[in-house]
Amino acid sequence: MFTGIVEETGRIAAIEPREAGARIRIECKRVLEDSTPGSSIAVNGVCLTAVDLAPDSFCADLAPETLRRTNLGDLAPGALVNLERPLSPSGRLSGHIVQGHVDGTAELLALDPLGADNWWLKARIPAELDRYLVFKGSVCLDGISLTIASIEDRVLGVTIVPHTIQVTNLRDRRPGGRINVECDILAKHVEKLFRLITPPPRS
């Protein structure tokens, strides 16, 4: 389990296409401090298994489903990625519950300055995810825990504070790119339970 509090930004060193999927190498430092082969590391909000660890990098294999559902297949060497290790039992849940299971991608529409290094991010979300997102609810974008400040006609708006723009890959993002979206898992559980307890309409 993750929290959506990014620990550091890594940099894509290489992407190697394979017969099924791909392998990426990511240059980083902090998330390697206590990682071992097989450790989970969230990369842009995607839970990946770290292999081939080196003092300043690690590799991870991307399944075809991961390439299809996330933006990791869009990345080129040099791109910044958000990194987070799983929450330890004694850690603080500073963000919200994040599984690292991306639901889909949104199109970044704008990242506009508000002043004093605050920013307003707008993204168009897929229609199938709209029902899980609510005003003042939580959403995970590229592995960042954020609060929904507006949502209308599938356009999501969030405020990005100075610390977030400084320590995440948002400083490197441009309109038109894809952002990974993970909806709040509680919303999906509530939806399923509601379907189970709601009787079907009479014919």
Assess whether 42 carries a catalytic annotation.
Answer: no
Return phi, psi of residue 67, to 5°: -65, -35
Would residue 198 be called left, alpha or beta, if left means φ above 0 and alpha means ψ between -120 and 50 degrees?
beta
Do the strands 51-54 and 40-43 form a parallel or antiparallel pair, or are they unpaired? unpaired
Residues paired with 61 in a beta bridge = 23
Distance CA 68, CA 176 (A): 17
Assess whether 63 carries a catalytic annotation.
Answer: yes
* Active-site choice (14, 20, 54, 101): 101
Assess whether 2 carries a catalytic annotation.
Answer: yes
Q: CB under 8 Å to 8, separation ≥6 — which residues? A: 28, 29, 30, 31, 83, 167
* Active-site choice (35, 39, 40, 159): 40
Beginning with the edge strand found earlier in the chain, give each strand of the sheet holding 155-160 in spatial order: 144-147, 138-141, 178-183, 104-115, 118-124, 155-160, 150-152
* Active-site choice (63, 135, 150, 189): 63
Assess whether 36 carries a catalytic annotation.
Answer: no
Here the tokens at position 89 are: 């039992």
Distance CA 81, CA 177 (A): 13
* Active-site choice (47, 60, 106, 183): 47
* Active-site choice (14, 20, 49, 94): 49
* Active-site choice (94, 147, 150, 189): 147
* Active-site choice (2, 50, 138, 164): 2
Alpha carbon 97 to its chain centroid, in Å, reads 12
Assess whether 40 carries a catalytic annotation.
Answer: yes
Q: Which residues are part of the catalytic machinery? A: 2, 40, 47, 49, 63, 101, 147
